Amino acid sequence: MKQIPITTMNRYPQYLRVLRSMRNKGLKKIMSRDIAREMDVEATTVRRDFSYLGHLGRQGYGYDVDDIIKSFTTEIGTGQNENVVLIGVGHMGRALLKYNGFVDRTGKITCAFDSSPEHCGEVEGVPVYNIKNLRSKLPGDIKIAIMALPGEYVQSVADDLIALGIKAFINFSDGEIRHRKKIIVQKIDLISMIQEVIYRFKQHY
């Protein structure tokens, strides 16, 4: 497979969500212009992005929805069977657990941890354990963690998780995760995102 530009890679999860939604509506074939309309991009962008996955479509015929979804799940690793652990079951954590029940996802939160005993038990069908039991309760097959805890604790908990085999983090906290080279960290900074939207809005209107 060709080297895929990072901007294209960033669009792939959105494509996958759109395609699964279309499949759920019963669509079997789809044209690039239909995907482009849903994604708010040019049809040429869709065709170029998909070309990195191989020759998936034919001019005038369009794309087979199942074939494209299969290409994403087998070649790019965006399958639906990746187990994820959630650290922190406050307001943000509970919102993420509620979202966890949606269809068309690429992974699933299978357990969570929190330091408050009142948060432990079960939330949205997901078992929540005390963070003190992290070593004994964290399943060995989980390699991705979502961090939704206060920033002052994020580094120490991340260090514990790395020692237990976690390789990637989605960080919703206001703290930074200092990490080794082979550890993946995706920071989700909602304040910065809102500021960016406000800036773009003012530039546009």
Q: What is the CATH number of the domain that holds 132?
A: 3.40.50.720
The full DSSP string for 110-132 is EEEEES-GGG-EEETTEEEEEGG
pLDDT of residue 41 exceeding 80: yes
- 61 with 89, same domain: the answer is no
Per the domain annotation, does 200 fall within a domain? Answer: no
Per the domain annotation, does 1 fall within a domain? Answer: no
Edge-to-edge strand order for the sheet containing 62-64? 29-30, 62-64, 57-58
Over residues 30-36, the mean pLDDT reads 91
Res 93: pLDDT = 94
- 37 with 86, same domain: the answer is no
Which pairs with CB-CB distance under 8 Å and at least 24 residues apart come from 59-68?
61/29, 62/29, 62/30, 62/31, 62/32, 63/29, 63/30, 63/31, 63/32, 63/35, 64/28, 64/29, 65/19, 65/22, 65/23, 65/27, 65/28, 65/29, 65/30, 66/23, 66/28, 68/15, 68/19
Tens digits of per-residue pLDDT, 71-80?
877 666 655 5
- 87 with 184, same domain: the answer is yes
Over residues 133-138, the mean pLDDT reads 97
pLDDT of residue 7 exceeding 90: no
Res 181: pLDDT = 75
3-state secondary structure of 30: strand
The CA distance from 116 to 139, in Å, is: 21
Over residues 27-44, the mean pLDDT reads 91
Res 8: pLDDT = 86
pTM for the predicted model, two decimal places: 0.72
Res 203: pLDDT = 84
Structural domain that includes position 153: 82-191
Q: Which residue has the higher pLDDT, 115 or 179?
A: 115
Amino acid in the structure at residue 15? Y
- 100 with 12, same domain: the answer is no
Out of 32-41, 78-87, 169-178, 193-202, pick the least confident: 78-87
Over residues 121-147, the mean pLDDT reads 95
Q: How many domains does the chain have?
A: 2
- 129 with 185, same domain: the answer is yes
The CA distance from 130 to 183, in Å, is: 25
Over residues 189-202, the mean pLDDT reads 84
Mean pLDDT, the chain, rounded, equals 86
- 67 with 137, same domain: the answer is no
The CA distance from 50 to 188, in Å, is: 26
